[in-house]
Structure 1
Amino acid sequence: MKTIYLDNAATTQIDDEVIEVIHSSMKNNYGNPSSIHQFGRKAKSAVETARINIAKHFNVTASEIIFTAGGTEADNLILHNAVLNLGVKRIVTSKIEHHAVLHTCNHLEKTYNIIVDYVDVDEFGSVNIEHLEKLLSNTTTKTLVSLMLINNEIGNFLDVENISTICKNNNALFHSDTVQAIAHYTIDLQKIPIDFVVASAHKFHGPKGVGFAYFKKGFGISPMLHGGEQEKGARSSTENVHSILGMEKALDIAISNLEKDKKQIGSLKKYFISELQKISVNIEFNGLSNNLNKSSYNILNVRFPIANDMLLFSLDMAGIAVSGGSACQSGSNKGSHVLSEILNDNEAEKTSIRFSFSKYTTKQEIDFVLNYIKNNI
C-alpha cells in the first residue's frame, strides 16, 4: 500500500546526512562530556562547537543556548525560571498556545499563586493587540508574555515585532514558543528582541528528544533538574551528544536550503488549497492557514462541510498520515482546544484535518490525497 506522510508539524523524517552524523558520533564519540580524559574532552569539544554553530544562526552568543530534551522541557525551564528566579508574578498568554505552555502556566498558577491572564484572540486565532496593551498597561506587577510565533495547529504568524515592542514599552519579559518556526524562517534575535525562545530538532528533520532554550544574556537561570553542573549549571543531566550533533547538522541543512524549501513547499500548499476549493466550495480553512502571507508555508488546517468521526481513521487506512483537529475527532477525547476557542459550536463540530508538508512531499502525493478526498468526502 502506498503511504503518504502529511503530519510534519508533529514530527519530520530525519535527513540521511543527519543520521550519518549521529551514527558516526555513536561509534566514535562516546565519551561523557563531563569526564576530564581525552574521550570526555572530545565529546565536550563537539558539544560546545555545536552550541557555537547553532547560536550563530540566530545572531546570539553560545552562552545564551541551553540544550534540552526538546521544546516542552525548554518551555518549562523558561517559565519556571521566570517565576522562581526572575521574580515574575504574572504571565499573559492566550488560550490557543501549545499545552507545553498552557499546562505549565496552570501548574505555576496553582503552585506559586501567580496570576495568569489570557489575551483575546479573534475568530481567526489572531491576538487582539489592543487587549494585550490593556493587559500590560498601568501595572507594576512583574509580567512575562508567552505567545507562540507560529501556531502549531492553524499555522498563524504572530506579529512578533509589534508584540516585542509592546512588551519592551511596558517592561514585560517576552517568551515565544518558536518550535514551528525554528529552521523554517530566519530569526535574528538581535533585530527582534525576544527574551526567550525554544527549539525542537525533530520539527526540522533532526532527531527526537533534543532541543534548546535561548535565554537572553543577563538573565540568570535556576535549574529544574538537579544533580550535576551540566549546561553551566542550568540543566543537570549528561548531554545527549549524538542528538545535539544531529540537531546541529539538521539546522545547518535547513537554514542553508531555507529559501528553496519555502518556495517548493509553499507552492504545494497553494496548489492543495486551490484544488480543495474545486472539490467543494463548502470546504473552509481554520485560522489564517489558507492565507499564504499570514500563515506558515507548511501548515494547512482544513474544515470539511461534514461531521465524520471516522475520517482520520479512514485516511490512515488509505495510507495517508495526517492530524485531526476538530472538537469531536476520532482518536482524541478532548478534541482541539485551539479550534474550540476560535470556532462557534456548529463549525467546531465539523471535521477538521491538519495537513502539514515538508521538502519530501511531492505533487504526486498531493494529487493522491486530493483524489481520495474527492471520492470520500
Structure 2
Amino acid sequence: MIRISIDAMGGDAGPSVVIPGAAKALERHPDATFLIFGQKDVCEPLLAQHPKLREKSVFHHCDVAVGMDEKPSAALRRGRNVSSMWRAIDAVKQGEADVAVSAGNTGALMAMAKLCLRMLEGVDRPAIAGIWPTLRGESIVLDIGATIGADAQQLLDFSVMGGAMARALFEIERPTVGLLNVGVEEVKGQEEVKEAGRLIREANFSTIDYRGFVEGNDIGKGTVDVVVTEGFTGNIALKTAEGTARQIAELLRAAMSRTLLAKIGYLFAKGAFDALREKMDPRKVNGGVFLGLNGIVIKSHGGTDAVGYAAAIDVGYDMVRNALNEKIAHDLKTYHANHQPNQGPEEAA
C-alpha cells in the first residue's frame, strides 16, 4: 500500500482540480491511500462527490493556504507547521506518507521541502527533474528550475540522481546520460560542464551509461534517457518547449480551418492529428520530482486540470514503488566511498 500526501489548496484552481485528480489516480492505483490537507469548507463537499476517494482518504483541516504568488520566505513565516503545503510534506517526514504531491507555489514548495525534509547525505543542492516527451518515448531532464548555476560536482550529483529516477520510472537497468552543452565536442562549453564530463567519465558508474555532451535538439530526439543541466538553462528549455508545442497546435488549428479543402483534409487525417495531440499533451507528462531530499516530493503544474494532476500522482506512485530515494542514496554512497581523498597514516588511524 502506497500512502500519498496531498496539498489540496495548491495550484491555480485548488481543490476543484486536486480532489478530482486524486480520484482519477485512485482508479489506476486502487492500492493507494491518501492524506488530504486543506480547508474543510471547500474540500469536504468535493470529497463527498467522490465516495471511493473519501473511503480511501483521511482529511486534515488546515486554516492556511500558501498563495501562488507568495514569496518563499513569507510562505515559510506564515505557513510553517500550519499550512496545507507544509503539513503534506511533514507527513512524509513523520513516516505517515510515502510521497507528497502539490501544485502550489514552486519556490515555497522547495523551501519548505528543504527545511522540513533536509538534504540527502552527500547532496549539496536539490534538482527538479521533469519528464520530457521525445521521438523515442520519454526522457528525464534535470534541473529544470531548482538550482540556478551548478558546479561540476553538483552536475555529477544530478547525473546520479537523474539516472536513479530513470531506473525507477522507466525500469531501465543502466540508463544513458548526457550533459547539455553548446556542442558535442569535448573542447566546447563552460568549464564547469567540461569538468563535470571528466568527473563522470572517471567515476565509471555501473548504474549509468554516460554518453558525453548532447545539444538542445537532442532533448526532443530522445538521444539519451537523462539530460543533465543546471536550473537556469533547464527552465528556459522547458518553457521554450511548452511554448513551441502550443504554437504548433495553434498553427495547425488555423491551417486546418482556413479553406474548405483543408477542412476536408483534416477529416481524412483526424486520426493522425488526434495521435499528435495526445503525444504533445503536457498533462500526460505532468509532475516534476524534487531530487536530493530525504523524502519524495512531486510538483504538479499549477495550471493543470484533473487529468494532469492525476499524472503527477502517478509519477509519485512510481517513484515510491520503485524505491527512488533508496537508489539515489545507494549510488551516491557508493560514489563518495570510492572517491574519498587519500588519507595519510595518522588520518586513517
TM-score (norm 2): 0.29
> 1 or 2, which has the higher helix percentage?
2
